[in-house]
């Protein structure tokens, strides 16, 4: 029964974020009446939400006064550098899709059309892009330390979404510029984020469909991050070949994604749930094995193919290869 009702915990988190509970108590502990006034909520009903937050470890209570924990203070208070709650709206948007998991198993059709979050629904697209941005900030903070791009000048960021990885790599690599290729609806939101980063002059946003659009040529780095899981094995091979052709000799390809450990596709557990989520929200989505991706990268013509894991608990790994 606890598993069947597990959604209640995330619903408590979402409601507290939407009401601004954690921001309300950022400066000092407050009682329920003060928090209710700050959040525009009913005090009697809010009492139960606040106590649920205490039970979930999101708030602490000393007498009648509620306060943030160290985690909520760092990540759920608006204005903090590491604020990460913008992406929760995307998680909420996924609730209806997950309710149709059994239907997916029967029909093979995603209950949430991928176009919904790729431009058709502006609010859901915005929530999706911000969610990807906030998740990418963590990966982006370590990615430049795992891949040495010193001396490289032109990066192609395929399906680059919010442009967060491009900005992270540019920050750490003098002289590097980036071209972010993604659909127009996504880039409309990405433009805000890239400009806010202060690196807009070094990032070019190129509207297009990476399946159909030319990658161009003359790049010395190609990043395919967080998008191969939307594609079939044959399409992944095609994209790796397009990346190979777009790179100069000595060019580096980086594939970053959530992968299964091996071809059996049973571990890690995170990849299982990730694969199901991709099936629910994309026509061909799932998750690939890192062993598969390494083979496909070599088959595309890359040499010195190797795998690097991001520091745990981050679930991503990198597959890298060099064009001869």
Distance CA 79, CA 60 (A): 21
Interatomic CA distance for residues 86 and 166, integer angstroms: 20
Query: Could you give the CA distance from residue 172 to residue 41 in angstroms, rounded to a whole number?
Result: 45
Query: Which is the catalytic residue, given 145, 217, 229, 316?
Result: 229
* Residue showing tokens 């795998």: 307
- Residue of 288, 285, 233, 228 whose CA lies nearest to 110: 285
CB 43 within 8 A of CB 32: yes
Concerning whether 288 is annotated as a catalytic residue, the answer is no
Tokens of 308: 């690097």
Which of helix, strand or coil describes residue 301? coil
Helix, strand, coil shares, percent, the chain, to 5: 50, 20, 35
**Euclidean distance between CA atoms 225 and 229, whole angstroms:** 9
User: How far is the C-alpha of 127 from the C-alpha of 225, rounded, in Å?
Assistant: 19
Distance, in Å, from the CA atom of 1 to the CA atom of 170, rounded to the nearest integer, reads 48
Distances in Å between the alpha carbon of 303 and those of 48, 251, 296, 315?
59, 11, 11, 25
CA-CA distance, 173 to 140, in Å (whole number)?
13
Separation of alpha carbons 204 and 178, rounded Å: 6
Q: What are phi and psi of 180, to 5 degrees?
A: -100, 115
Known catalytic residues are 229
């Amino acid at each position: 029964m606890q598993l069947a009702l597990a959604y209640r915990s995330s619903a408590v988190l979402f409601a507290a974020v939407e009401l601004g509970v954690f921001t309300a108590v950022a400066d000092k502990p407050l009682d329920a009446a003060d928090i209710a006034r700050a959040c525009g909520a009913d005090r009697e009903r809010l009492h139960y939400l606040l106590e649920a937050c205490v039970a979930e470890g999101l708030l602490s209570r000393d007498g009648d006064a509620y306060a943030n924990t160290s985690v909520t203070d760092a990540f759920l208070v608006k204005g903090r550098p590491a604020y990460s709650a913008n992406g929760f709206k995307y998680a909420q948007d996924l609730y209806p899709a997950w309710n149709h998991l059994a239907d997916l198993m029967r029909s093979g059709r995603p209950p949430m059309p991928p176009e919904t979050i790729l431009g058709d629904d502006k609010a859901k697209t915005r929530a999706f892009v911000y969610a990807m941005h906030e998740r990418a900030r963590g990966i982006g903070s370590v990615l430049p330390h795992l891949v040495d791009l010193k001396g490289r000048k032109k990066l192609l960021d395929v399906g680059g979404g919010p442009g967060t990885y491009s900005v992270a790599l540019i920050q750490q690599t003098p002289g590097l510029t980036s071209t972010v290729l993604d659909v127009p609806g996504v880039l409309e939101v990405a433009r805000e984020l890239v400009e806010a980063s202060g690196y807009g002059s070094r990032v070019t946003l190129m509207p297009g469909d990476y399946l159909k659009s030319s990658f161009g040529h003359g790049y010395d780095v190609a990043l395919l991050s967080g998008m191969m899981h939307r594609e079939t094995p044959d399409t992944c091979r095609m994209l790796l070949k397009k990346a190979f052709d777009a790179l100069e000799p000595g060019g580096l390809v980086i594939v970053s994604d959530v992968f299964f450990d091996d071809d059996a596709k049973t571990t890690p557990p995170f990849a299982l749930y990730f694969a199901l989520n991709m099936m629910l929200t994309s026509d061909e989505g799932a998750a690939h094995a890192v062993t598969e991706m390494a083979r496909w990268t070599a088959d595309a013509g890359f040499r010195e193919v190797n795998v690097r894991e991001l520091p745990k608990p981050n679930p991503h790994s990198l597959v890298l290869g060099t064009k001869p």
